[in-house]
Amino acid sequence: MNQPPKFGFYISIALAAFIGLTGCAAPTLDPTPAVPALALVNGVLIDGTGAAPVPDAVLVIQGNRIAAAGPRSEVTIPAGATIMDVGGATILPGFINAHVHFAYNEENLAAWAQGGVTTVRDEGIISTEPITGLLALRDTTGQNPRLARLVSAGYMMTVPNGYGELFVSTPEEARQKTLDEIGWGVDLIKVSLEDGYAGRSGLPKLTDEELLAIVTAAHERGMLVSGHITQARFISPLLAAGVDDIAHVAYDRIPDEVIEQMIAQNTYLVPTFTVFRNYGAPIAACVDNLRRFVAAGGNVALGNDYGGGPGKFELGIPMYEIGQMSKAGMTAMQIIVASTRNAAHVSGIEDELGTLEIGKAADVLVVNGDPLQNLDALQQIRLVIHNGVLIRDENSPVQK
Ligand SMILES: [Zn+2]
């Protein structure tokens, strides 16, 4: 979904172009400004759409945009482009981790970007810093291609003494605080339905009316809503309210009819096996839920619920997460789509990112080897390009 400010921005550009054209007396215009081009050649293209890999492919980046992508025989490389031979490596979209925390942190953002994760979705602020300062940090770090792009869900919304950070007590207050978050500049809304954690249970939770007020206010303004659960019985109330993705696969069995309802509503699932492992939850039950969701045709996005702590979570490509997706029967191609296009979808940035298609922002991960044959190849990073800027280059010779 487009966010209103972005839409307004494009309107402004279009308007400026129109005024520029009509106000210009010169008969000839230069439609192609001299933007430096970079062409990756001799790669295998996996574009994130789920389309079959393209051997002997070329990817052309002009400025910060994808200008062309496809077989060498069909792509024209602009004169003067810098040509980089990637030696048969695999060219993928930059990966997106659609469930992290502690992303308002340059060190973490740098580690993600260097590891090939060029975008992260922070699923809930855990900080005493004012949100306005944190969102300002998102905007300034967003100017630095060496740092992963940050998509912010603001605070997780709940009721007083519930699981989350932003508390509401009535549907009216739920609507108003959703509008407050949007006014502060968040990128999406996060809600929780959580009964307990760390030995607690019976936590108070948002009512159906409060959930509906939040989702309605968010959707009216083009904002997605992500809903936290850890137990299967809380998925249905979130579906009834109309959330767009379920954060965490349940650790108890999700009934088949709930899976069918998720698919009917096109509600995505972001499993986060890593955090379940860290808390000692039964991973086999989590994997079984995902297996049935995927077999029924459900859409999955990558996320590990990064929460800090040495050795507990991977920065960079979350390989534990990917390994469990594979155990649940997802093909390597499905896992790549979950990590790129689908993760962009739940982050509300699918128009800009997630696939290597003409016009999209140039976030690119190049790995040695074939991840369709062996997913471990995702860790054999050769290049990372973020917003058109080469930020990691292991060994490719540059020719001019
Ligand atoms: Zn989380």
* CA distances (Å), origin 5, targets 18, 177, 179, 204, 339: 20, 19, 15, 35, 26
In the reported structure, the alpha carbon of residue 286 is separated from the centroid of ligand 1 by a whole-number distance in angstroms of 16
- The C-alpha angle 87, 89, 91, rounded to 5 degrees, equals 125
Is position 365 within any domain?
Answer: yes
Is position 21 within any domain?
Answer: no
How far is 298 from 290, CA to CA, in rounded Å?
Answer: 9
| Same domain? 231 vs 301 | yes
If 0-12 CB within 10 Å is exposed, 13-18 middle and 19+ buried, where does residue 131 land? buried
One digit per residue, pLDDT tens: the chain, 400 residues? 444 444 333 334 333 443 334 444 444 554 555 678 999 999 999 999 999 999 999 999 999 999 999 999 999 999 999 999 999 999 999 999 999 999 999 999 999 999 999 999 999 999 999 999 999 999 999 999 999 999 999 999 999 999 999 999 999 999 999 999 999 999 999 999 999 976 789 999 999 999 999 999 999 999 999 999 999 999 999 999 999 999 999 999 999 999 999 999 999 999 999 999 999 999 999 999 999 999 999 999 999 999 998 889 999 999 999 999 999 999 999 999 999 999 999 999 999 999 999 999 999 999 999 999 999 999 999 999 999 999 999 975 554 3
CATH number, domain with residue 378: 2.30.40.10
Residue that has been written with the tokens 């494009």 in this structure? 10
Contact, 364 vs 117, CB < 8 A? no
In the reported structure, the alpha carbon of residue 189 is separated from the centroid of ligand 1 by a whole-number distance in angstroms of 13
Q: Order of strands across the sheet with 95-100?
A: 95-100, 117-122, 149-152
In the reported structure, the alpha carbon of residue 248 is separated from the centroid of ligand 1 by a whole-number distance in angstroms of 8
Contact, 64 vs 362, CB < 8 A? yes
Is position 27 within any domain?
Answer: no
| Same domain? 128 vs 222 | yes
| Same domain? 114 vs 237 | yes
In the reported structure, the alpha carbon of residue 264 is separated from the centroid of ligand 1 by a whole-number distance in angstroms of 25
| Same domain? 54 vs 186 | no
Helices of type H across 221-313: 235-241, 256-264, 273-278, 283-295
How far is 143 from 150, CA to CA, in rounded Å?
Answer: 11
| Same domain? 239 vs 262 | yes
In the reported structure, the alpha carbon of residue 220 is separated from the centroid of ligand 1 by a whole-number distance in angstroms of 25
| Same domain? 86 vs 179 | no
| Same domain? 215 vs 238 | yes
| Same domain? 333 vs 378 | no
| Same domain? 382 vs 304 | no
CATH number, domain with residue 153: 3.20.20.140
Is position 201 within any domain?
Answer: yes
Provide the number of structural domains found in the chain: 2
In the reported structure, the alpha carbon of residue 222 is separated from the centroid of ligand 1 by a whole-number distance in angstroms of 22
| Same domain? 324 vs 389 | no
How far is 394 from 98, CA to CA, in rounded Å?
Answer: 26
In the reported structure, the alpha carbon of residue 307 is separated from the centroid of ligand 1 by a whole-number distance in angstroms of 7
| Same domain? 139 vs 44 | no
Domain that holds residue 209: 95-346
Is position 41 within any domain?
Answer: yes
| Same domain? 395 vs 276 | no
